[in-house]
Amino acid sequence: MTLAPVRARRGTSALWFALVSAAAFGLSGSFAKSLFESGWSPGAAVAGRIGGAAVVLLIPTLIILIRQWATVRRSLGRVALYGIVPIALCQLFYFNAVQHLSVGVALLLEYLSPVLLVCWVWFRSHQHPRLLTVLGAICAMGGLLLVLDLAGSHTLDGAGVLWGLAAAVCSAAFFVMSARADDNVPPVLMAGGGMAAGAVLIFGLGALGVMPLTLSTQNAVFAGHEVSWLVPMLGLVLVTTVFAYVAGIIATRGLGSKVASFLALFEVLFAVVWAWLLLAELPRPIQLLGGALIVGGVVLVRVDELRGPGHPELDHGNDVEPLPVGAQPAHTHPLFPSSE
């Protein structure tokens, strides 16, 4: 029996996880906007989002730690680093960029992460990317520009550009660290432990005054209806954080960091669709064209990935590693690997 059918099934499953993760992440703007309009600061929204996710995942995270302490204890440092860099600092840098730039330009800078990953592979392997990957990157980033609809003139602030590029580096780290995480670190532990570490950092920065934490208990307006502030906050915590991060980790392990990072560009497209459905912000024809270009770019990168060998330092998510001599194959669940 060949491994091709197994890899095909894993790739298809990971593809769906990537898409639903992007759709969930794309909802964050609609939820957050209702909180901002009711008096929340961006820092408080981030703190509530990450802190709430850490609380939700606390019990399953503790269960995994107790049951699999011997196998995961050496990975706790990486889990903490995952929470600090890709989760907490990425959001902190992005909101700092927004203070100096328009939201569209700041978001575009953050979503340079797929291009950074391609350049990183080029630097590490000393092999230039294949033609389809280059064309896919150009097509996807061009589509992203159209989806963001950056019409008009924008004055670029040097500090804002640096903050945005820092967010892009952290975003790229999300895909690299998610793909490199071994099977001994379940996605729930990776997300739950990371959220806890990120929450400690964010609340610490708030206590020091680096990130203002202003919140409000006034009712918010969401999808045209006045609702309790808990509605958008629970949406941020449960849908756009807990579910989105766990699904994203599973997807990245199955697809590899490069392909997963390009699929994550769908978040911008989903954000436009959600804003259309929930906030009555209708997408322009140019944004629909941009969405088609993003899809085309992702298809080109994925086809290139399937045509030839990837880069093991980043894209080993699709590979089935040989078992050590004498080891028995384990039947594991993608979220909770067996501790036996």
Average pLDDT over residues 171-198: 80
CA distance 305 to 303: 5
Average pLDDT over residues 232-257: 87
Closest CA to 137 of 154, 150, 126, 122: 122
Instruction: Indicate if the pLDDT at residue 191 is higher than 80.
Output: yes
CA distance 197 to 218: 29
Inter-residue contact 266 to 322 (CB < 8 Å): no
Instruction: Indicate if the pLDDT at residue 315 is higher than 80.
Output: no
Instruction: Indicate if the pLDDT at residue 62 is higher than 90.
Output: yes
CA distance 314 to 339: 27
Which band of pLDDT confidence, cut at 50, 70 and 90, is reported for residue 239?
very high
Average pLDDT over residues 69-96: 86
Instruction: Indicate if the pLDDT at residue 289 is higher than 50.
Output: yes
